Structure 1
Amino acid sequence: MLRSATKALNSTRLMSSLPSVQKVVLIRETGGLEVLRFEDNFPVPEISSDEILIKNKYAGINYIESYFRKGIYPAEKPYLLGREASGVVVARGDNVDKFQVGDKVAYLSGNTFAQYTKIAQDKQILKLPETTTDDHMKQYAALMVQGLTALTFVNDAYSVQKGDFVLLYAAAGGAGLAFNQLLKQKGAHTIAVASTDDKLQLARDYGAEYFINSQKDDILAKVMEYTNGEGVDAAFDSVGKDTFEITLSALKRKGTFVSFGNASGPVPPLNIGRLSPKNIKLLRPQLFAYVTGADDWERYSKEFVRLVDSDLLTAKIFGVYPLENYKDAAELMEARKTVGKLLLEIP
C-alpha cells in the first residue's frame, strides 16, 4: 500500500514539475501552407494511469501531413501534426510497468510536432538502449514511419521474392530509400522512378538496379524494356492519380499493385473489372493496420531494430529544421526539392 502511494505521489510530482503549456505545430482549418500555425501556448497533455509522457527530441516529417492539411484525409480541428518521434520519458502513469522516467524511446503516434506527447504504454513504442547516441535518435525518428512502412509492405502487402522486378516511385524520398535497401536485401530487381538524374543516382547508391527519369523518359516504355516486355511483378506507387494508369499497364500477369500515397492527388474511382484481364491484385495498405496487433508489432519491431542497429536500414537526413520552421520544410518537400528524410528538432 505504501509503495503504491509513493509511486502515485512521485508521478504527481513529476507532472507538477513540467510546464503547463508547450510549443506545437498544428492546423485549425484546411488549406495550403498558409494554414500551418506555430503556437507556443498549447496545453501539455495530462496522462492517464496507463500512459507515459514523452519529451520529444526529433520528429520525422512525412508527406502524409499534407493530406490532412488539405482535407484529403479528414481530421478534427485543431489538428496537431506529426506521426513519429524519438525522445525521453518524463512522466508515467501509476499502472505503467514497461517504461521508466528517463528511458529513451522512439514511437509511432499522432501529435508529435510538439514538445510533449502522451501515449499508452501498450502502443507502438520502442525502448532504446541508454547508450543510444544523438545520431541514432535522429535515425529512429526518421525511420519509424517510412522504414516500418517499407518493411511491412515488402513482406505483407507483397511478399517480395528473389528475382522479382519491382517498380518503385519516389525512389529517392525517405520511404523510397528504405524500400531500395530492403528490396536489395531480398534479391529483387528494383526499377527506380525519380524526377532528376541526381535523385536516381541516390537510388542507385541505396540499392536500385534500373532507372527511369520521370521528367524525360516514357515510364511504361522503360519498364517494358527492362522486363523484356513482361512487366513488373509488383509496384509500390506513392504518387497516386498521375501514375495510376501507367502502373496498371506496367504490371505483368498476376502482378500486385500496392498504392499507398496521393502525392499527385487521390486515385479516381475504379471499375474493378479492369483488374480481371491480367488477374491484378490491388491493395491500398497503411502501416498501422500491419502493426496494431501485439504479435505483429513484436515481430516487426524486433526486425526493425535489428536492421537499424546493424546499419542495414539507414535514413539519409536531408535536413533538420527547428520546430517553428516546419512550413519551410513542408514547402521544399511538396515542391519535390528534397531527397531522403526531413526532421524537426524539438526545443
Structure 2
Amino acid sequence: MTKAIVVEEIGGPDKLVWKDHELARPGPNQLLVRQRAAGLNFIDVYFRKGVYKAPRLPFVPGKEGAGTVVAVGEGVTGFKVGDRVAYAGGEGTYAHEALVPAAQALHLPDAIDEETAAAIMLKGMTAEYLLRRTFKVGPDTVLLFHAAAGGVGVIATQWAKHLGATVIGTAGSPEKCAEALAHGCDHVINYRTDDFVEAVKDLTRGRKCDVVYDSVGRDTFPGSLDCLKRQGLFVSFGQSSGTIENFDLALLNQKGSLFATRPSLYGYTATREELEASARSLFKVVGSGAVKIEIKQSYPVEEARRAHEDLESRRTSGLSVITIQP
C-alpha cells in the first residue's frame, strides 16, 4: 500500500484525491521507484478532464518523475536497487511510489538532482525534438514560440537562442514577458494587449517566421499561420486554450503553401535509442549551463489540486514541480 493522488472520475481539480493506493510489486521489465518529485504538465490536466482518455478508472495522474529504484522486476537489465532514475511518458507519478517500465527509465547524471529532473524530462525532451528534429533550428532560423514563459517555453527559447536562432515569444502579462526575455527571447509580444500577427510582421520587417511553435491551440489559431513565411511550418504540440476545430487544410494553400504537423514526444522517442539520444542532448545542454533551470513553483503532492488550479488559471510561469516526501 502506498499513498497517491487518485482520479476516480473525470472532471475538475476537485477530482484529485490524496488517499491510500494499492500498488503491485514490479512485474517483468518494470522498476518500482520511490518518488522524490513529479513534473506538473498540461497533459496531466488533459487526462483528468478526459481530453485524453485514461487507460482505466480510477487512475493516478503524472507522466514524468524522478526518484530511487527500490525493487526490480524479472528481466530488468541495466538498473539495480539504489539507482537514481528519471522518466517521462509513464503513468502514476503523483505518488510515493510508482511502477516504471524499465524501457522508459534513464539514469540521472550526478550533476542533476531529482527535482530538476522531474521538472525537465517531459518538457526538455519536448524542446529537444521540436528544435532539433521537427524543424532543425539554426542561425538562419526566425521562429515564434507561443507561451514562451511556460514550462516548455523557458527551456525551448534558451535552447533555440543557443542554436543561434532569432527567437520571438508571446506571453500574457508584463511579468511573463519579462520572464521570457530573461530566458532567450529576442522579442516578446504581450498577446493580451498587442496583435501578435501584426507585431511579428513588424519585428521581421514583413518577412515573418520560418516556424511557429504553438501549444496554445484555439486562441492562437489561425493567427499562427499568418506569422509564417511562404512554405513555413506550423507546429501544433498542445492545446492549453482548447482544441483547434474545423482545420481546413485548404488554409495551408491560401496562406502560402504552408506545412503543418501535430507531433508528440512519444512519436519522437518510440525506440530506446531515440529516448537515450534525446535525454543525452537535454542533459548536455542543461549541464553546460546553456539552458538554465529555475523551478518557479513547487507543490507538495498532497496539494496537487491547487497545482492544477494554478496551471489552468495561468497563474504559473516557467517550470513547476510536485514534491513527494516519504
TM category (shorter chain) comes to over 0.9
Which residue does 2:167 correspond to in 1?
Answer: 190
Which residue does 1:323 correspond to in 2?
Answer: 301
Which residue does 1:284 correspond to in 2?
Answer: 262
Q: Residues 110, 42 of structure 1: CA spacing in aligned structure 2 closer, same or farther, 3 A cutoff? A: same
Q: Which amino acid aligns with 1:115?
A: H
Which residue does 2:21 correspond to in 1?
Answer: 42
Taking structure 2 as the reference length, what is the TM-score of the superposition?
0.95
Which residue does 1:255 correspond to in 2?
Answer: 232
Which residue does 1:211 correspond to in 2?
Answer: 188
Within 1, Cα distance between the matches of 2:74 and 2:252? 53
Superposition deviation, residue 230 in structure 1: 2.1
Spell out, residue by residue over 1:235-285, the C-alpha distance to the aligned partner (whole angstroms, 9 max, x if none). 010110111111011111011000011111000021212111311111110
How many aligned positions are there?
A: 322
Spell out, residue by residue over 1:277-333, the C-alpha distance to the aligned partner (whole angstroms, 9 max, x if none). 311111110111101112212321221221222232333211221111011111111
State the secondary structure of the residue aligned to 1:98.
coil
Identity of aligned residues (%): 34
Superposition deviation, residue 110 in structure 1: 1.3
What does 1:3-18 align with in structure 2 at a 5 Å threshold?
none
Which residue does 2:323 correspond to in 1?
Answer: 345
Within 2, Cα distance between the matches of 1:132 and 1:231? 39
Superposition deviation, residue 163 in structure 1: 2.4
Superposition deviation, residue 132 in structure 1: 4.9
Within 2, Cα distance between the matches of 1:115 and 1:132? 23
**5+ residue gaps, structure 2:** none
The yes-or-no answer on 1:81 pairing with 2:61 is: yes
Superposition deviation, residue 52 in structure 1: 1.3
What does 1:71-220 align with in structure 2 at a 5 Å threshold?
71-75=50-54, 76-108=56-88, 109-121=90-102, 123-129=103-109, 131-132=110-111, 136-220=113-197
Superposition deviation, residue 58 in structure 1: 0.6
Which residue does 1:68 correspond to in 2?
Answer: 47
Which residue does 1:221 correspond to in 2?
Answer: 198
Q: Which amino acid aligns with 1:60?
A: G
**Does the aligned pair in 1 maintain the 2:68–2:85 contact within 8 Å?**
yes
Within 2, Cα distance between the matches of 1:87 and 1:325? 19
Q: Residues 30, 210 of structure 1: CA spacing in aligned structure 2 closer, same or farther, 3 A cutoff? A: same
Which residue does 2:2 correspond to in 1?
Answer: 22
**5+ residue gaps, structure 1:** 1-20
Within 1, Cα distance between the matches of 2:84 and 2:173? 38
Which residue does 2:314 correspond to in 1?
Answer: 336
Which residue does 2:36 correspond to in 1?
Answer: 57
Which residue does 1:10 correspond to in 2?
Answer: none
Q: Which amino acid aligns with 2:308?
A: A
**Does the aligned pair in 2 maintain the 1:147–1:313 contact within 8 Å?**
no
Within 2, Cα distance between the matches of 1:247 and 1:260? 13
Within 2, Cα distance between the matches of 1:308 and 1:161? 18
Taking structure 1 as the reference length, what is the TM-score of the superposition?
0.89
Q: Alpha carbon RMSD of aligned pairs, Å?
A: 1.4
Spell out, residue by residue over 1:88-125, the C-alpha distance to the aligned partner (whole angstroms, 9 max, x if none). 0000123222111001111112111111111222x222
